[in-house]
Structures are given as C-alpha cells and as structure tokens.
Structure 1
C-alpha cells in the first residue's frame, strides 16, 4: 500500500496509540520492527499515521507489545484501513484542515460534551446565527468563503439527526443566550431552536446563570468527544490560531473533571429549557 501524504486525525490518532503501546512495552522502534519482521521506517510511518495498517497488523502489534486490553485492541482495529471519504472531504480545498478533523471526530464520536461561555455550539446554531458569526471573522471572509464555512457547519449537524444520533450534552453560560448576534429576531429564533433541540432524546442543554457563584473552566470553550473506549477520547479546543486536539491521559482526566464540575453547577435540563424560553420571550 502506498504511504498516506496527508493523514486524517483518525489515522494520526491510531498511530499515536500504537506508539503508546510500544513505549509501554519498553521497546524502541527498531526492536519493535525486528519483532514484527518489518523495517524501522515502516514502524515510524505507521506511528505517524502515514502508512495504512490492517486490523490484523494492529492485533499483531498489540500481541508483540503484550497489550492485553482487548477492548482497546478491538477499538484500534476498527480504526484501520485507508482514508474513508466523508462528506467533509469535498471541502478540503476550501477550508482549513482542522475543520475536516472536527467533522471526522464528531462523525465517529460515541458522545459529545461541550461547554461555551459566549457562543452557541456550532452543532446547535441556526443558519442565520452562524452566518452572523462568520460575518464577524477577522480578517473578514469574502462572501463565497462565508458560504463554504456555513455549509460545512450546517452539515456537521447531521450527527444529531441521523438514524443513530450521537449523544450530545451542552453546558452554556447565560452570556451565550444574551448575545444578540444578527439582531433581535435572529437571536430569538436561535433561542427558540435551542428550546426545540433540547426536547430531543439525544440532546441535553444545561445553563449556568449569571447568578451562580462559580463557573469551573474559567469560560474556556471545550469540546470533548468520547471514543469507543475512554483511552480514545479527544478534547478539542479553539484557539486564535486554529484547532487544538488533546489526547494525553492527563488532559482527558482534567477536562472530564472540568465538565463534570460545570454540569454539577448548572441548571437541570428542564429548568434550563424554561430559562432559555424566558430569555427568548424578553427579546
């Protein structure tokens, strides 16, 4: 199989996890290659996500690395093969690579947990709300660029509405509900949409009011995607320079704890729905 020129987030993550297994076994890449009957360069390419690897190869590597976590090995084996084209691939020449990675991450996630302070989550935004946000980009987008970003953002929302919708939990600060992006009518339509979405079985929306004494996480935007096993969870953070993806155990533990604390310090879903509805009525 030919090398992969630009590996996807999923391919890079598979390579990262295989490297972790090798390192836990105390093996150098040269020793691992000798045990598997391949050259050291092949191991390095696999660990960089730049060489396709089969499910059988992953299982052979796990045996060589004395990994006895069958659930993890099964999960890693399911991530093998070449690039699987998703709807997001049609945007690769128009949008930053990080947006492709986000769409792929959401597509494969078992559960999504998000927390935001002054924005509505992308997967819950109406078209008009999203367009209003994109018009505020710095540097400004050209009209056709706005439409590319907007189309991609709306298509990402399919994970909430497909036949096997992802479980989705959002924790929003009241500030996000009060911002009137696009004007009062757009803001009210967005809040009405949140109320409607919160009634779906797979979606939970919880609000942290201004009146509450604490807000764990200090207002940082957090996207937490659960994998098939906890070791394959991923945290995605927005920065001024693009998307950051974190997968170390320390980071996963930290952000899982932050989200748990934020959830504990928020209104229950039914109370949050009523809270959103009252703000919408005031607009």
Structure 2
C-alpha cells in the first residue's frame, strides 16, 4: 500500500479522466452520489484528487458511467501505478506532509522555475550548503535527522537530472554574498553554480546588487511547475516561514506568479552571463 501523501501527477490525471467520463455519460454529481451511496462532496473531491483514489470506487464509477472497458482498464492500470510508493518513500519519516504534496507534482514536472530571495534555491545547493541551511532552520533536530534531510535533497537533485527536466533559476546576488556555512562552503557552492550553467537544461540568472526593485522584490521563495500533460494545470509552490511551503494549482494565482517571474527575469542580466566575481570567498 502506498504511504498516504499528496496526489501525484498520475492521480490528478486519473481524477480528471473520471470527471470527463461522468460528463460524457451525462451524469450529475448528485445522481452519481445517490447511485453509489456516496456524498456529493466525496464525488467532487475524487474528481479533484483531494482524497485518496480507491480502486474499488474508481471501478464502480467507471461501471456506472458505462465507460468503454478498454479505456476503463487503462485508467485502472494508471491508478495502480500511481498508488505504488513514491521514490521518496524511504525518507518519509523526515518529510513534512506539505513536502510530500509538492513531490507528487515536482517529480513529474517538465519545466521548473525557481526564485529565492536570500539563498541558493534548494535544487541547486551543494550538500554542505544544504546541511548548513538545515542546521540554522532546525537547530533542535538530531544531527541524524538533519543528515537524512540533506541526503534526501541530494536524491531529489539526482532524480531531477535523470529526468532531463528543464530548470530556470533566478537568484539575487545578495544570496551569493551571504556566507552560509563557511567561506569554503561558499566557494564550493559558487563553483557548483558555474558548472550548472554549462548544463543544457539549466538556465541561471543573477539579479545584481545594483539593480533596483523588481517584480519579485520582497516575494517569498517561489517554484513554478509546468506539467507535461494537458489534464493537469501548472502549479506554484510558495514558500513560508521556516522553510515550509504551500502548493497551489489555482489558475489565477499561478498565472499571477508566472507574470511576476517573467517580469523579474526580464529585469535581470541575460541568461548565460558570468556569475559575479565574489572575491571575498
């Protein structure tokens, strides 16, 4: 049984397919709920992937809709794959619920755009830089727990590289001037960023200290996720206090954040420009 976490891309696709199947069958939410002894709210939550998708319920829904059996089998097979443990399952003991929600979508995103107002975004951090951030954010956590969180981040970065997803990061130069860990850690981090810019799927822009206010000035950490399937809209991950974040797929909200990101990137030096020569490190 898959550990309960946020819906994956596959769950959201199945949920959307169920909604479309109901509409094609000409069935209203109330009628479906009455026929299958469910509440109308439950049917609505199933179609929004806001509750665990039960294989029996999905089978009963498709049967009630008289959905073509060949297509119904494909949907059931997709659900079975979605219910398998996520790649992050081995780290579930150190992952908060909000992060499992994000991973279900981020792990399938084709394009990831990142902004952080004060630090190097996590997908671009070295292990030592990430460990230093963990030590500041979670000083009371046992060292073994912090080490596992850093190990998880490295696995997350490796999965991103293996998938060949596109990453576009915007970093304020101030983040590169902030000593996280030690000068040695910062030198290693800057070298890693320079190497990252040579990767064809990674684009990095640095907002200079001399730049004026821009669209993301004062904005929290932001991650925009573009999914490779038409059934699922783009998502935004908006950072909060203590490193926590909120995942949203509200179209107006995501569109507003995308426009802010576009504007800020347009105000930064062109992608591919040399990283600032920070001689202090």
Q: TM-score range by the shorter chain?
A: 0.7 to 0.9
2:92 aligns to what? 92
Question: TM-score, length-normalised on structure 1?
Answer: 0.78
Note the aligned Cα RMSD (angstroms): 3.5
1:72 aligns to what? none
Q: Name the SS for the 1:9 alignment partner.
A: coil
2:196 aligns to what? 197
Note if contact 2:114-2:168 (Cα within 8 Å) is conserved in structure 1.
Answer: yes
- How many residues matched? 261
Measured after TM superposition, the shift of residue 239 of structure 1 is: 1.4
2:69 aligns to what? none
Note if contact 1:95-1:148 (Cα within 8 Å) is conserved in structure 2.
Answer: no
1:256-271 equivalent positions in 2, closer than 5 A? 256-271=258-273
1:111-122 equivalent positions in 2, closer than 5 A? 111-122=111-122
Distance across 2 between alignment mates of 1:15 and 1:250: 23
Measured after TM superposition, the shift of residue 16 of structure 1 is: 7.0
Distance across 2 between alignment mates of 1:24 and 1:240: 41
Range 42-51 or range 255-264, more displaced: 42-51
Q: 1:168 to 1:29 in 2, by over 3 A?
A: same
Range 119-128 or range 18-27, more displaced: 18-27
Distance across 2 between alignment mates of 1:27 and 1:59: 11
Note if contact 1:29-1:40 (Cα within 8 Å) is conserved in structure 2.
Answer: no
Range 230-239 or range 168-177, more displaced: 230-239
Q: Is residue 83 of structure 1 aligned with residue 83 of structure 2?
A: yes
Measured after TM superposition, the shift of residue 217 of structure 1 is: 2.2
2:72 aligns to what? none
Range 89-98 or range 261-270, more displaced: 89-98
1:185 aligns to what? 184
2:126 aligns to what? 126
1:67 aligns to what? none
Q: 1:60 to 1:254 in 2, by over 3 A?
A: farther
CA offset digits 1:52-87 (Å, max 9, x no partner): 359x979969x99xxxxxxxxxxx999633412232
Distance across 2 between alignment mates of 1:59 and 1:224: 33
1:252 aligns to what? 254
Note if contact 2:18-2:62 (Cα within 8 Å) is conserved in structure 1.
Answer: no
Q: 1:259 to 1:234 in 2, by over 3 A?
A: same
1:69 aligns to what? none
1:68 aligns to what? none
Higher relative contact order (CA 8 A, sep 6+): 2
Note if contact 2:129-2:181 (Cα within 8 Å) is conserved in structure 1.
Answer: yes
1:62-81 equivalent positions in 2, closer than 5 A? 80-81=79-80
Question: TM-score, length-normalised on structure 2?
Answer: 0.79
Q: 1:237 to 1:104 in 2, by over 3 A?
A: same
Measured after TM superposition, the shift of residue 38 of structure 1 is: 3.4
